[in-house]
Chain A
Amino acid sequence: MNPRPGFVLEVDRSTPPTLMWKGESFGLQKLPTGSRIVYAPEPFDALEDPQGAIRDALENPTGDQKPLSALLFAGMRLTICFDDISLPLPPMLAPDIRQMVIEAVLDQAAESGVDDVVLIAALALHRRMTEPELRHALGSRVYDAFAPHGLLMQHDAEDPSNLIHLGQTDHGEDVEINKRAAESDLLVYVNINLVAMDGGHKSVATGLASYKSLRHHHNPKTMRHSKSFMHAPSSELHSANWRMGRLIKDSGVNIFQIETTLNTNTFPESFQFLQKREWEWGIKDRMAFAASSRALDLAPRKMARNILQGIKAPHALRTVYAGEVEAVHEKITADVWEQQGVAVSGQTDIVTMGLPYISPYNVNSIMNPILVACLGLGYFFNSYRGKPVVREGGVAILFHPTRPEFHPGHHPSYIDFFEQVLTETTDPVVMSERYEEAYATDPWYIHLYRTGHAYHGVHPFYMWYWCSHAMEHLSKVIIVGGDPATVRRLGFQSATTLDDALEMAKDSVGMSPTITHLHTPPLLMADVT
């Protein structure tokens, strides 16, 4: 049976309440009659023979690139780079797609007698992965073969001895990337294209870049002019990465790009109700909902977090292409849109979204208030093509407890950002001028980024910049259930219930606003016409 496409439901009196995520718990929320709910398409079927499909892609490249086997030769330097812990969400059940692809590449390399092989996690400014995380992404076989010999590395954007400056684009943007990767005879990049903005030239130009290089496109100006990130032609971020990518290619770096899409099968059997449509819940789903939502509410927060962070998604490989960066990326992006796109006609006054426990930057960690803003206003708000779901001057209503909780090991600079920067300004431009440099060059943050498992000192700024398009577009952001002091610090308003929030929204959007709810996860992209 073919999976059903996504669709927009109009709430009437017979519509059951909607599942609403609230961070580390969820509940049922009745939406006002007349509201629209955007449902994601159902997960596409998995490939029957993923290994076969991968081998096939490697030997039948897309675009202007030779088959992998033709690129491998004895005595060459081969570097395989892969996406880090931020993908996919939630982490997938073993075997991870990266493991499958890398094993296939390594098999071929072995056949061709290549023995100078290095694996690099393309962290950009993300935290270094821990041993268990690397083992999960690569499988223990690969890990044990490389890690003990120092051949499994994590990209270090602050290690001058392992960075190379390749030049400047015609826009004056510095291109500085990982030296080992740039100087290899072949650079294989293994992507997981969870959303449309992943992959393409961004893989190398961002994932393996230094702060000096990244700051050219990770800034408030670029972020404001990316409408949206998910739609390449309208994304300034995309354009900058493409300029850089072409420069990298022109400097002679030979990239063999492998991109993959997963279906949106997000939750395991016991949590399947989370991705079903509520009126189709069976007895089992209702019981699972009742039991798990109650358990999460009652459990100590640490335990609730551990339960949810322990979820491994039964994501399955749907398509895989390999070859030349741009050609591969074009095909893959189309596939992502096919899986996630939902046609939505017309904008709305108010958009509502329930924010789940996880975002790309708090896997095995804590979703701090800045990441809450980023997930709602950066990630979900930007999941559109054409125009935002909510009209200019409209209101976003998010559901999340937004507690002032931080992971001191993973997000040390976020703590100071919250205490020092946000108390003074929430304006991305002002903070970028006043504080970014100091945070980016702070020796202690750099130390923790390089030797610990901390995000780079500048990272909270990027998260905040990511919200800048939404903050400019919206007249008001309300967080239902949010800790009032914390929400105020973010520059938003908190409300106890949806009714209160709708009441508060009225001075911006009038007495009878239109409301649209994004029913995600699973991920969806709104194609707004």
Chain B
Amino acid sequence: MGVSQTLAGKRFFVTGGTGFLGTALIERILRSIPDSSVVLLIRPGRRATPMDRALKEIVRNDCFDRLRDEWGDEFLTRIEQRVFAVGGDVTRDLLGLDDEGLSLLATCDLMIHSAAAVSFDSPLDQAVEINLLGPSRVADAMAVGRTLAASSGTSGPQHLIAVSTCYVASTFQGEAKEHLLGDHRFDVAVDWHSEVDTARRLRNDLEAESRRSPIQDEVTKRARRELGAAGSHVVAIRAEKLRDEWVRERLVEAGNTRSRALGWPDAYPYTKALGERALVEQHGPKSTSPLPISIVRPSIIESSLSEPVPGWIRGFRMAEPIIISYARGLLREFPGVPEGIVDVIPVDMVVADIIAVAAHGPADSEVAVYQVASGVRNPLRYGHLVELVQSWFTERPLYDDQGQPISVPEWSFPGRGRVQRQLKRATSTIDTVERVLGALPLRGKQAALSARLEENNQTAKRALGYVELYGSYSETEARYRIDRSLALYDAFDDADRELFNFDPLTINWDSYVYDVHLPSVVKHARVRTAPGTQVMADRQDRGRAAVLSPDRQLAVFDLEHTLMASNVVDTYAWLASRHLPLSERVAFVAELVKNGPQLLALDRRDRGDFLRTFYLRYKGASVEQLRSDSWELFNEQLLLRSYPEGIARVREHRRLGHRTLLITGALDLVVEPLAPLFDDVICAKLGVENGRLTGRMEELPPIGEARANVLEEYADTHGLKLSESVAYADSASDLALLEAVGFPVAVNPESRLALIARRRGWLVEDWARAKGGSSRSVPLGRFDTTAPGASRTIARRFTR
């Protein structure tokens, strides 16, 4: 009887369905096994039900495109008939299943555990919970399911297939057979119980340490440096995130250190190895609760050879970041020995192997181990792979931001250390440049440049991580035997060999790398594969269309550097010098220049304090005089420094029926001439006594975080949805405002905001002053001495 017939009508319980292997497995079961069904263990989302998530994250993947075509209109109906999702998590006892979930599990015939923390930078405790304890928890749940089934006269799950990895065989050289661990003379005797305890304690210790000085102070300081005067709340959120990252980094490091000490390249194979041991210890034939278990160990899983389509891949796998970094010209060399073997196995072969094991059934009185790898039967030499990659990218180069092709470097085979040093040097140079750029008051194009630099930095850092990891894998000179798997394959009839091929000998590496894998990697990496700058333009257009959709309700604008190249100091200088005689002007300018850096520093630290201090200078100024001067200021200075595209945008929002709002820390008198442009204006107001300004603000100025609050109140009052609103601002200090709305737009962003906008994919607008629009380059009022008194009042406060 063939595989399909053997398994026909069976129900599979699958963990890790949202992963690379899991998705392929589910698709294959549904497509190739008649009347089969799957029950998926899915972590419940905050809003989405497990079934919603299953549909969104698994069924909507392009892996299912073939089925979608084959089933046509019936696709969704059939999916709903054959796919079930239960909420749960392998990090919880009994998988966190409720009674309903357990009864559903009891109706399954087979269980396949493919959930794992595969990422090389998983924190140790997380790897322990998922990789080490996960398999045992799945087996526990199986035992409960079987009991439940027995009570209702059915049999329940008859076979557990746990997916592991070839690399559990640690870094020893020579042949690694399909044996359970612990059977080998070189195995280090590690007690997995104490490893679990230690990892958990380490998490607690680090969490505690990170909340104390100096770590807590350091992250707060860093958050403030990154965001500037964005407001304490926003800084706090960022600091908390940085603290989390700090803990995580320590845990990753701890995992790597411990793994290497015990002979594994990193925490993934190490925790997987202990996971196998825990599983066998608790549910193996010699345990108190023996269960029918098989273990499947793949080597490095890469894109599919032919099922469901050649080249299908999900997520960024291990080799891809390195390949892409190389194609982008970031990685000039790559470590390794040319004659070394890269043990790669296409995902569809792993799937076929698992299905073959399922069809074969569990072994009697032993936990059978099946390895699926290519290294022994059909080795791919490292030097050959490199040649293929190099010639592929020479023929089809990637393109940089300017639409220019990137030429790939000749690859030599240096030692790992040299490549690491090279990459570290690159990232630390970029780090330094980035810090310098971040500290400069850059805007627009320059700021975008520094954001791009940051992105390269991220890519390089990621590549560095992979080089470290890959290096140790390439040093794993074990050769993985696949005799037991092959025995299954040999027992297949011709039809099954065709349908469920997992014989590595059938892979033609040249055509696999050249025609299947690399095209797929490039497609998924979202890199430029064509000259020109069209992609960027399309993205801008889409962003703009979203912002200007009739569905939007409110458009909020910041003023300074968003709608005009001006700030409170400019404005003050203009107003204060408007009526000053020449001799006093000189002293005034000298003082302004002298105090400039101090003012800038204060502004960077806390905008509220800055405005409070600065506006005191207006104390005693005549409101009438200032009002009439402000109109002149507007016409002779502000309007000339305005960004016509910005002003056009405000008007466009109004035309579309959106409400428009100006929120600015500038003074009411100064923005008065601008008011008719908007439906409403929220700005700073100074108190007035006897027709003169007191210099004190009447209420909290709408800056930093206060802007978000003011905006929320405003939206509430007018019954507007912030999720349907647009905000325009230029600086990281406006972050709270931008984050409050559904459609943030960074206008001429300074470097910190440029970086944030780039990371989050926000629309970025570069608005320029009108070409040829001339205004005084020094923001001083027209020279005219008709009413010197008025100016002296506010200018003297400054020179005093």
Contact = CB atoms under 8 A, between A and B. Distances in A.
A444 B772 contact: no
Given A403-B771, A406-B772, A412 B644 contact: yes
Interface string A113-154: 000000000000000000000000000000000000000000
Contacts of B651: 442, 444
B640 interface: yes
- Of the candidates A301, A305, A419, A451, the one having the most CB atoms from chain B within 10 angstroms of its own CB is A451
Contacts of A420: 648
A64 interface: no
B676 A408 contact: no
Given A406-B644, A412-B644, A453 B635 contact: yes
A443 B640 CA distance: 19
B769 interface: yes
Interface string A397-415: 0000001111111001001
Contact of B770 (A406, A448, A451, A452): A406
Contact of A447 (B644, B676, B774): B676
Given A451-B673, A452-B634, A405 B772 contact: yes
Nearest to A128: B635
A248 B774 CA distance: 42
B771 A406 contact: yes
B673 to A, nearest CB: 6
A416 interface: yes
Contacts of A443: 676
Given A408-B644, A409-B639, A412-B647, A452 B673 contact: yes
A13 interface: no
A4 interface: no
A171 interface: no
A305 B647 CA distance: 26
A117 to B, nearest CB: 23
Given A412-B644, A412-B647, A302 B774 contact: yes
A406 to B, nearest CB: 5
A400 to B, nearest CB: 14
A305 B648 contact: no
A318 B673 CA distance: 44
Contacts of A403: 771-772
Contacts of B636: 409
Contacts of A404: 771
Nearest to B775: A409
Given A415-B770, A419-B648, A409 B640 contact: yes
A195 interface: no
Contacts of B772: 301-302, 366, 403, 405-407
Contacts of A305: 774
Interface string B769-800: 11111100000000000000000000000000
Nearest to A301: B772
Contacts of B677: 444, 447
Interface in B435-461: none
Interface residues of B, number: 20
Contacts of B371: none
Interface in B668-684: 673, 676-677
A412 B648 CA distance: 10
A406 B651 CA distance: 19
Contacts of A405: 770-773
A109 B93 CA distance: 104
B631 interface: yes
A501 B637 CA distance: 40
B642 interface: yes
Nearest to A452: B635
Contacts of B631: 451
Nearest to B770: A408
Contacts of A444: 647, 651, 676-677
A416 B649 CA distance: 11
Contacts of A366: 772-774
A419 B767 CA distance: 14
Nearest to B773: A408
Contacts of B647: 412, 444
Contacts of A442: 651
Nearest to A404: B771
A415 B676 contact: no
A407 B770 CA distance: 7
Interface in A405-437: 405-409, 412, 415-416, 419-420
Interface in B621-652: 631, 634-636, 639-640, 642, 644, 647-648, 651
- Of the candidates A305, A408, A451, the one having the most CB atoms from chain B within 10 angstroms of its own CB is A408
Given A419-B648, A444-B677, A408 B634 contact: no
A408 B647 CA distance: 11
Contact of A409 (B635, B648, B676, B771): B635
B773 to A, nearest CB: 5
Given A451-B631, A452-B634, A408 B642 contact: yes
A179 B635 CA distance: 27
A452 B639 contact: yes
A153 B639 CA distance: 23
Interface in B386-403: none
A419 B644 CA distance: 10
Interface string A447-467: 110011100000000000000
A405 to B, nearest CB: 3
Contacts of A415: 644, 648, 770
Given A366-B772, A451-B631, A452-B634, A408 B673 contact: no
Nearest to B648: A416
A431 to B, nearest CB: 17
A243 to B, nearest CB: 36
A403 B771 CA distance: 9
A290 to B, nearest CB: 27
Interface of A: 301-302, 305, 366, 403-409, 412, 415-416, 419-420, 442-444, 447-448, 451-453
28 contacts: A302-B774, A305-B774, A366-B772, A366-B774, A403-B771, A405-B771, A406-B644, A407-B770, A407-B774, A408-B640, A408-B642, A408-B769, A408-B773, A409-B635, A409-B639, A412-B639, A412-B647, A415-B644, A415-B648, A415-B770, A420-B648, A444-B647, A444-B676, A447-B676, A448-B639, A451-B673, A452-B634, A452-B635
Interface of B: 631, 634-636, 639-640, 642, 644, 647-648, 651, 673, 676-677, 769-774
Given A407-B773, A409-B773, 17 more contacts: A305-B774, A366-B772, A366-B773, A405-B773, A406-B644, A406-B772, A407-B770, A408-B640, A408-B642, A408-B770, A412-B644, A420-B648, A442-B651, A447-B677, A451-B635, A452-B634, A453-B635
Per CB-CB distance, the 6 closest pairs between chain A and chain B, nearest first, are A405-B772, A408-B770, A447-B676, A409-B639, A415-B644, A452-B635
